[in-house]
Structure 1
Amino acid sequence: MAAAICTAEEQERLRAALRGLLLPRQDRLHWRDESEARRLQITAGIAALSAALHSVVVVAAPVPDAKQERARRLCLETLHPALEAHGVSLIVQEQRTPQQNRRDLQMVDALRSAHLLSAAVRVEFAQPIEEPLLWLPDTIAGAAGLAREGHPEHLARLSLAIQHHDVPMR
């Protein structure tokens, strides 16, 4: 999982720049769907924005397919408090199914009950097709995944200040 941190003042400029990376008839950027040439273009475009961004990457790996939701909860357990430590007061996560969103919010409640996340941090959901800022963590996570596989060029190209956390599967 990854998060991209920016100020409220920078959001519109970043959205416009990200939309500018779209190809004709493309409605969103999605790392998994992009060719290698497009990934190079996208990382170059995001690198040009890097002064306005900070990111946090949380990795629980290796993860068997049957443990994906468990790994997600472990990542959220690290990611949300790390974001609050960076001064983030609004976390916008990619919308999934209603049941999956409820589980994510239950995790947020558990973090609050354990005093790992304050009530001042709001968590909302958005669709990537509607919120271009969600394309940033998707790209960062994709580049970080390739770096873990021995291909660090995309992550290095992003030129972002990245705080990396490895989370052991338990």
Structure 2
Amino acid sequence: MTPSAGTLSAWSDESFQEKDSAGFYIIAAAVIEPAMIDAARAVMLRIRGRRLTAKSHWTQMDDRERRRAAEAVAALGGIHVVAVGSPVPVRRQERARRACLSELVTQLHGFRVGHLYMEARESQLNDRDVATVQHARRYALPKGTDFRIDHVPGGTEPLLWVADIVAGACRAEQLGRTAYREALGDVVLDFEVSTRC
């Protein structure tokens, strides 16, 4: 899973909170320079350590582990592009996801990303992501732009865990806990998306 010549790849994960009056949906995409890909995978495997789970996951970390994970991601460099969509009422997370993913594709294109890897979900939900990316490519990107999306199991690709850490830190910030987002420093570029939910 390495970028093709002339384009970069991104690896993404999401986090959300439904709430009648507000709520938010976050999709974080880790854009890692090709020369740093192997190092990033090694760092993520070290962060996972001896956990019994297949992958490192933000929700399973304690406060100290989260701070160290955010600092490790910051040290990797690169840029992490984050769509923060709101509002997200109860049972509207898929609509919010589509709005965020569509805008994320446009933003990633501006960073020379041509391939997005997302954590696999159910087949039908994966198909919705593909349709969203195809629509964004057709209507938001310059004609003839090549932008691909592939879904991979979360336990098989440590680069997805980079995005999980970024999404978790940005989620914490939305909930008023800013320390993790601050630990990421200037490697995160986040933008707001109206979900129209």
Given the two structures, how large is their TM-score scaled by the length of structure 2?
0.79
Please give the per-residue CA displacement for 1:118-153, whole angstroms capped at 9, x wherever unaligned: 541111111121000001111111101111222111
Cα distance, 1:162 vs structure 2: 1.9
Give, as a single letter, the amino acid of the residue that structure 2 aligns with 1:87: R
> Of 153, 164, 167, which aligns to 1:138?
164
Q: Percent identity?
A: 31
Please give the per-residue CA displacement for 1:72-116, whole angstroms capped at 9, x wherever unaligned: 000011101111110012111111110000011111121123143
Alignment correspondent of 1:127? 153
Where do 5+ consecutive residues of structure 2 fail to align? 1-26
Alignment correspondent of 1:6? 32
Q: State the SS of the aligned residue for 2:181.
A: helix
Alignment pair present for 1:33 and 2:60: yes
Cα distance, 1:5 vs structure 2: 0.4
CA distance, structure 1, for counterparts of residue 70 and residue 139 of structure 2: 37
How many residue pairs are counted as aligned between the two chains? Answer: 168
Moved over 3 A (4+): none
Given the two structures, how large is their TM-score scaled by the length of structure 1?
0.91
Instruction: Give the number of the structure with larger relative contact order, counting CA–CA contacts within 8 Å between residues 6 or more apart.
Output: 1
Where do 5+ consecutive residues of structure 1 fail to align? none
Query: Per residue, is there more strand in 1 or in 2?
Result: 2
CA distance, structure 2, for counterparts of residue 169 and residue 45 of structure 1: 31
Query: Per residue, is there more helix in 1 or in 2?
Result: 1
